[in-house]
Structure formats: C-alpha cells, structure tokens
Amino acid sequence: MNSAKELIEMLNSNDYVVQKEAIENASKFNEPEVIDRLIELFINTNNRMIEEHITEALKQMGGSYTVEKLLKLLNHEEARVRVFAFEVLCKIGNENIQAIIQEAENPDKNVRKFIVDILGALKDKQGVDVLLKRLSDDDVNVIQGAVEALGNIGNVDALKKVVEFLPSAHLWVQWTIIESIKKVNNKELISEVLNLPWEIEDIIFDSIFEMVKENGDLENVNDTINLYLKLSTQLRIKVLDTIYSIYIRSDKQKLEDILANSKLFDEIKCILIYGSDEQKYTIFKYMGSIEDKDFVSFIKSRIFDETIILSAIKLYYTTNTLGKRELVSVFKYFNKSKLVEYIREIFMGDDDILKLSGLKIMRSNGIKEAADVLPEMIKEGELLPEVLKTVIELDLKELFDKIYEEYFNVKSNNAKLLMLECMAELKPDDSRVVALIKDELANELLSDSHILKLLQLIRKIDGKEVFKAQLEWLVDHPNMEISIEAQDLLES
C-alpha cells in the first residue's frame, strides 16, 4: 500500500486478513483520516482480534490528534469502547497532556474518574495541580483516584496536602492515602500522618459510637464499654507490633533508649493486672508470638514483674485447652525458677502440643534444670525428634546413658537413627556409638538415605579406622553418592 487512501480501502474490507494487514501498517500513515477510520472500525466491529490490533496500533501511532479523539470516547455508551479509549490514553496521553488536564472538569463524574486514573498512569508532574483540585470533588471515587494518582506521581509536597485530608476522609480514601504514602516511602510524610490531631481509631467506630449515643439504651452500655476495651487493646498491640518490626531491622539499643520512658508499657502492665480476661489473653497471646530473643528480653525487663507473671499463670489455669496451648508461649518471659517449675509441670501432663511448646521454650531459654524429666518423654514416639533436638542444643551429656538404654527398645529404624545421631553429637568417640554404627551398617536392608546418614556420623568420629572394612565394601555400592562418601572417608 502506497497511500492513506489505499489503507482506508483495506480497512473497509470485510476480509479479516486484509483488515489486519492494514491495521499493522497504519503507523506508516499517521493521518487524521486514518485515525478516524481505525476508531470507527473499533466501535463498529464485532471481532475481538480486530479490537486488539487497533488498540496496539493506536498505542504505537500516538499523537495529539489521537489523544483528543479518544478523550471524546470516555463517556461512550459502550463499556468496551470506554475501556479501549482509557487503555490507549494511559499509554500515549503524554503527547497531549493539556487536553487530558482540561477534561478533569468534565461534568460527568465517570469521565473525571477516568482522567485522574490516566494522569496517575502517565505520572506526569503537570497533572499534580489538577489532581489536588479533585480532592474536593463531590464523588468519592474521583477523590480516591486522585489520591492514588498523586501517589503514583510521587510528589512529596503534594502528598503533604493530601495528608491533611486523612482524618476526615472517607474510609476508602483513607486507605488509599496510606497506600500512596507507602509507595513514596518518605519518613517526613510518615511523621506528618502520625502527628495529625487524631481523635478516633477508625472513622467507622466514630459512627458506631454516635449511633449508640443517639439511639442506645441501658442494655447497650456494657457492650459499648466492651467495644472500647477491645479497640484500645488492639490498638496497643498494633503499636507494639509496629515497634517490634522496627526493632528487628534497626539499631536495637537506640530504640530501647527511645522507649526508656514510654508510658505504653505502663499502660500494657495496667491492662495485664486490672483488665478483663479477654484483654489479658489478647496481649499475652501476642507477646507469646514474638520470636526475637532481644525483644523478648526487652519486653521482659519492662513488663514482666512478679505481679504480671502471676496474672499470666492465673489466666493459664482458668482457660480451656486451646487457650493453654496459645498462652504457654508467654512462659518464656518468666524468671528461671518459675519457668523450670511450670516446664516440669507441662512435661508431667498428657498434652503433647503443650509439651512441644515447652521443649521450644526450654531450648530458647537454656533451661537445663528440667532435663531429668526428658528420659520419660523419649519413650513417647511423636515427641522423640523434638526431645532429641533439645538434648543436642542444650548439650545434655548426662542423658547419654538413658538414650542408649532406650535405643534397644525402639522398633523404628528412623527413630533409632535419630537416637544414634543424638548420641554421636553428645559423645562421638564413645565406644558404644562406634559399635552401634557398625551394627547398623551390617544391616543389608537399610535404605540408601539411611546409609548416607550413618556415613555422615562416621565423620564425627576421630578413629575411623575401625570402619575400614565396611567402608571398603561400600566403595563398590551401586549408589554413586554412597560410593564417593565411603571413598572420601577412607582417604580422610
């Protein structure tokens, strides 16, 4: 094709292949009559493929004229046409940004919403002023779109003005403001938000309390108080969780200095002493979920005196089984004598989930004083891996003999291997460990993975010559990994 006229004739064809060829070559003739025909064809076609080709062609062609033509389609009666115009404008709008900005005053709220979204997609700073004006729009969707667009553009000065709207904005807009600030990641903006004259935790609760004030009765008083207690407790946990997140990625000592005189911890202590059981449970449960040892130590020093420990214990004994399982993690904040006392009691009980938590606390707090209770737990198959892990981490060599004795009562090969690994960690050169490994290797029914683990245990032993005959035999093993490992041990 050699002219725009010829291309338009091809666009008028009823043959899909001919139309497609013309659309693909349209960028060579970026003229008003070609653009008009492409848009007209899009509106009138029923062919999805043709629609896609035209969309891509106009994105490539661009131009000020195309922008003006597509802007007129943003209020088209057909949704597919509106979406088509929006999609192309988001790509080429910078070629006539002023035409787009002028449409921000369009009387149709749906067009205004399209415009703010387009400006956000284009990220052109020329759109900042008009987007700020749209913050006073009478349609919440337009306001939300304007806020999101300003976040995409990333203009900090503009977002400072947006922050002023935060306390009084619609809930959707509040969320969008926060998300926009997160995109910019500016500490000054975060401070602006935190220092606003906040009066309520959430605008929806302001409406709820207003409803109760106007229409509530005596029967609603307790529920109103309980809602406040619930909200205030959740808010304190959110603040504490925020501090925790900053703590684990910052200079811990500096943050502890900043918090040295904070009243937050006094308020939490007050709730844990005088609050309802539900409040106490919620806070204790959160504290139990904290993993960072330094933060646990810090919280312990600020909150966990004898009174709080007794409060936790009382709540623990008055709650149900599920509650006990969730509260047991808070025991890690107890002083050592209390911790040993209650860890022992848990191990003497019959709740395996509690015992698993107890073992974790025992390891994280280095509680060796409860080691004498572990031999009985070794006999409980489901607990065996965690018990042995605890023995290894705490280096409880005094339990070696007990584990050795129990080894001969165990039927499972996997359980025996776990116990042998534990003994090898405690006393790798003990003659009993050497003898057990030799006996295990003599078992022709062992899996390859089991043999490899036994070979890894041999590495822990100084006197490897006692295994020479078996290693020489394993050098010829059909499993290449076993063969290489055995050869390496012979040469070491």
Kindly state whether residue 437 falls inside one of the protein's structural domains.
yes
Q: What is the pLDDT of residue 204?
A: 62
> CA separation (Å) from 402 to 63, 105, 369, 377, 435?
84, 83, 17, 11, 17
Q: Which residues in the chain show pLDDT less than 50?
A: none
Kindly state whether residue 461 falls inside one of the protein's structural domains.
yes
Kindly state whether residue 405 falls inside one of the protein's structural domains.
no
Q: How many domains does the chain have?
A: 1
> In 259-292, which positions are buried (b, 16+ CB within 10 angstroms) versus exposed (e)?
eeeeeebeebbebbeebeeebbbbbbebbbebee
Kindly state whether residue 447 falls inside one of the protein's structural domains.
yes
Q: What is the pLDDT of residue 325?
A: 94
Q: What is the pLDDT of residue 209?
A: 78
Tokens, residue 94: 């910078």
Residues spanned by the domain of 482: 428-492
| Distance (Å, whole) CA 400 – CA 357 | 23
C-alpha torsion sign, points 14, 17, 23, 29: negative
| Distance (Å, whole) CA 428 – CA 421 | 9
Q: What is the pLDDT of residue 71?
A: 95
- Which ranges of 276-412 would DSSP assign to H, the alpha helix? 277-289, 293-303, 306-318, 321-327, 336-348, 352-364, 374-378, 384-393, 400-407
Q: What is the pLDDT of residue 185?
A: 82
Q: Report pTM.
A: 0.65
pLDDT in tens, 142-172: 999 999 999 999 999 999 999 988 878 887 8
Kindly state whether residue 248 falls inside one of the protein's structural domains.
no
Q: What is the pLDDT of residue 200?
A: 52
Kindly state whether residue 249 falls inside one of the protein's structural domains.
no
Kindly state whether residue 85 falls inside one of the protein's structural domains.
no
Kindly state whether residue 147 falls inside one of the protein's structural domains.
no
